[in-house]
Amino acid sequence: MADKVILTCTECLSRNYVTEKNKKTHLQRLEIKKYCPKCKKHTLHKETK
């Protein structure tokens, strides 16, 4: 039941990561601190549609 989701940087809005999420167990959108190569620092990445 895992679906692929795209993670987008909140500062520069570049789409950097693709990951999987189980929609039965995680109902809210994912928010993870990850490294953004465009900003060259760790920023908050949110799940996009």
The pTM assigned to this predicted structure is 0.84
What span, in angstroms and rounded, lies between the C-alpha atoms of 1 and 20?
10
Let me know: does 34 contact 23? Beta carbons within 8 Å. no
Q: What is the domain partition of the chain in residue ranges?
A: 2-48
Sheet with 2-9: list strands edge to edge: 15-22, 2-9, 41-48, 31-36
**CATH class as words, domain 2-48:** mainly beta
Summarize pLDDT for 2-44 with one digit per residue, the tens: 899 999 999 999 999 999 999 899 899 999 999 999 999 999 9
Smallest Cα–Cα separation from 39: which of 6, 17, 13, 7?
13
pLDDT given at position 2? 87
